[in-house]
A and B are shown apart, each in its own frame.
Chain A
Amino acid sequence: GAGVSQSPRYKVAKRGQDVALRCDPISGHVSLFWYQQALGQGPEFLTYFQNEAQLDKSGLPSDRFFAERPEGSVSTLKIQRTQQEDSAVYLCASSLAVHSPLHFGNGTRLTVT
């Protein structure tokens, strides 16, 4: 498809497990963002990549969160030792260039039990 693709669509993890969330941006899009959206809230910024460079990770809530985009295309958000407060929808967005409109994927809904 032509849009941003995220997988899995849903993930249930037991507290303490590690999870990996994948994002396939639109082909050729330079910028890639990860956002976290808790229930009833707007999306909150986690981290930003320009090509393979992670230029801002100021929104990552703790050192249990790690993101990478090694070849400047697919990105993975990893959460280690998941906690209940990590339960949220994780949205990935890409854009063609800095300040171009963002295109969001449909998110991964993570539930930590």
Chain B
Amino acid sequence: RKEVEQDPGPFNVPEGATVAFNCTYSNSASQSFFWYRQDCRKEPKLLMSVYSSGNEDGRFTAQLNRASQYISLLIRDSKLSDSATYLCVVNNGGTSYGKLTFGQGTILTVHP
């Protein structure tokens, strides 16, 4: 079983739609959580951190449920430019000094 699991999709949605991605992680000692975005043939870039209290950045909302070891990302009012792969990322902290563990990624395509 992979340490971080995501539905690979693809998700195909029209502009303006709301779309949600989910992710589960297996290490209950994981300490910090992120969503990264990766455009085709580009490097991953940090989209947002994820906190237990939930956090929002414009059209993006991230949630963390530590009890269920579950992370989500909600995108409202999708834009064409949101088309990318979204990577769920976990940092196990402690002696792993910031080493990130990535999920497989979920592909999103937003169409006109």
Contacts and interface: CB of A to CB of B under 8 A. Distances in A.
A50 interface: yes
Contacts of B80: none
A66 interface: no
B43 A105 contact: yes
A99 B104 contact: no
Contacts of B105: 41-42
Contacts of A42: 4, 87, 102-105
B45 interface: yes
A101 interface: yes
Interface residues of B, number: 21
Nearest to B107: A40
Interface string B37-53: 00000111110000000
Contacts of B101: 45
Given A42-B102, A42-B105, A44-B102, A104 B45 contact: yes
A25 interface: no
A56 B99 CA distance: 10
Contacts of B97: 31, 48, 50, 55-56, 98-99
A109 to B, nearest CB: 8
B104 to A, nearest CB: 5
Contacts of A40: 8, 104
A100 B98 contact: yes
A43 interface: yes
Contacts of B32: 99
Interface in B30-85: 32, 42-46
Interface in A1-43: 31, 33, 35, 40-43
6 contacts: A42-B87, A42-B102, A98-B97, A99-B97, A104-B44, A106-B42
Interface of A: 31, 33, 35, 40-45, 48, 50, 55-56, 91, 95, 98-102, 104-107
